[in-house]
């Protein structure tokens, strides 16, 4: 059996989507949020996943039932206040946000219980994936610093996909692999522009602050990776985009899946790029067939940057 991956998904949300299929109007209810989408891709890649999350209120009750259908081992903590949600209208093929609520901030009791559950599950896993909340206000960044430090102290391998104060906090705790988008680096003031030179400098800084390896996604441009003693640009044939949302989460999940199988960093990065690329060819966040991703891995080329 493959070693499991623990996904820290502090506050998943209920997603409500309105779609038009021919002459039929459809309503879809799914669990969502970064950690959920990452876990979904990990499962698609054949990896056992334990998800640690909080749920609360009427929305949380429905979320618990929907999460149980995601083929993950679920460890939930009942929170004092309601879980978040959003409603999207996709009848014209585009996503129009009608309303949303990321959920109330997790209070101290919620965080203490979730921390204990996550630590216990993380120490049993070979890879721990720390994902962010729907809104920065929902989870205290300090939790990420503590988790990263404690999980690594226990021998775990920590992968993080975060931005803002949460990224700064996890770096302070120490992290084995960080994935971040160039848009997030710009928004956080870690890069002055989207030039390769600025993004490489940002990767160097991330490593100086506590990341052993760094992967930067760049939308339709080749991703950048800084790992071991290598700085590379990742190239593959362009694919037709149906929906770009979720590609970054699939990329992170691909990295975690390869590491959980005992793959080296080169394999992990190539798997991540392939998983992210496939995600844009289809509707549905964090989705993709494992056989298609496996075929795409061979198309990923690492070009050294001097």
Confidence band, pLDDT 50/70/90 cuts, at residue 276: confident
Confidence band, pLDDT 50/70/90 cuts, at residue 290: confident
Residue 168 in tokens: 């700064």
| Domain presence at residue 26 | no
| Domain presence at residue 295 | yes
DSSP 147: H
| Domain presence at residue 196 | yes
The lowest-confidence range among 156-160, 161-165, 239-243, 252-256 is 239-243
Residue 221 in tokens: 């441009």
* Nearest of 209, 113, 125, 197 to residue 167 by alpha carbon: 209
| Domain presence at residue 63 | no
The distance of Cα 5 from the centroid of its chain, to the nearest Å, equals 13
* Residues of the chain above pLDDT 70, percent: 93
Percentage helix, strand, coil for the chain under 3-state DSSP, each rounded to 5: 40, 30, 30
Q: Which pLDDT score, from 0 to 100, does residue 1 have? A: 38
- CATH code where residue 218 lies: 3.40.1190.20
pLDDT digits (tens, 9 = 90+) for 84-143: 999 999 888 788 999 999 999 999 999 999 999 999 999 999 999 999 999 999 999 999
Q: Which pLDDT score, from 0 to 100, does residue 245 have? A: 59
Confidence band, pLDDT 50/70/90 cuts, at residue 292: confident
The lowest-confidence range among 63-77, 81-95, 236-250, 280-294 is 280-294
Total domain count, the chain: 1
Higher pLDDT, 186 or 243: 186
| Domain presence at residue 12 | no
Q: Which pLDDT score, from 0 to 100, does residue 286 have? A: 47
pLDDT digits (tens, 9 = 90+) for 151-160: 999 999 999 9
Q: Over 50: is that where the pLDDT of 265 sits?
A: yes
Which structural domain range is residue 258 located in? 34-57+105-304
Q: Which pLDDT score, from 0 to 100, does residue 299 have? A: 86
Sign of the alpha-carbon dihedral angle for 227, 230, 232, 234: negative
Q: Over 60: is that where the pLDDT of 246 sits?
A: no
| Domain presence at residue 227 | yes
Confidence band, pLDDT 50/70/90 cuts, at residue 241: low
| Domain presence at residue 13 | no
């Amino acid at each position: 059996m493959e070693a499991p991956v623990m996904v820290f998904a502090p506050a998943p949300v209920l997603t409500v989507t309105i779609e038009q299929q021919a002459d039929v109007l459809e309503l879809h209810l799914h669990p969502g949020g970064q950690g959920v989408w990452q876990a979904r891709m990990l499962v698609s890649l054949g990896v056992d996943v334990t998800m640690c999350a909080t749920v609360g209120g009427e929305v949380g009750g429905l979320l618990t039932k929907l999460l149980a259908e995601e083929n993950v081992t679920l460890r939930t903590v009942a929170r004092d206040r309601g879980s978040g949600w959003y409603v999207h209208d996709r009848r014209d093929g585009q996503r129009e946000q009608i309303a949303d609520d990321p959920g109330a901030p997790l209070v101290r009791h919620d965080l203490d219980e979730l921390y204990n559950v996550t630590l216990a599950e993380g120490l049993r896993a070979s890879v721990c994936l720390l994902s962010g909340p729907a809104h920065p206000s929902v989870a205290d960044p300090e939790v990420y610093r503590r988790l990263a430090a404690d999980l690594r102290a226990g021998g775990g391998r920590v992968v993080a996909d975060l931005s803002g104060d949460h990224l700064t906090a996890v770096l302070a705790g120490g992290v084995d692999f960080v994935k971040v988008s160039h848009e997030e680096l710009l928004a956080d003031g870690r890069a002055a522009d989207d030039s390769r030179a600025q993004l490489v400098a940002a990767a160097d800084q991330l490593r100086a602050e506590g990341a052993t390896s760094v992967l930067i996604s760049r939308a339709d441009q080749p991703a950048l990776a800084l790992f071991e003693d290598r700085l590379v640009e990742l190239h593959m044939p362009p694919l037709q985009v149906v929906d770009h949302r979720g590609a970054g989460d699939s990329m992170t999940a691909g990295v975690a899946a390869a590491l959980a199988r005992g793959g080296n960093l080169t394999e992990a990065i190539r798997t991540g790029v392939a998983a992210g690329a496939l995600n844009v060819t289809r509707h549905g966040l964090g989705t993709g067939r494992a056989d298609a991703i496996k075929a795409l891995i061979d198309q990923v080329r690492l070009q050294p940057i001097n």
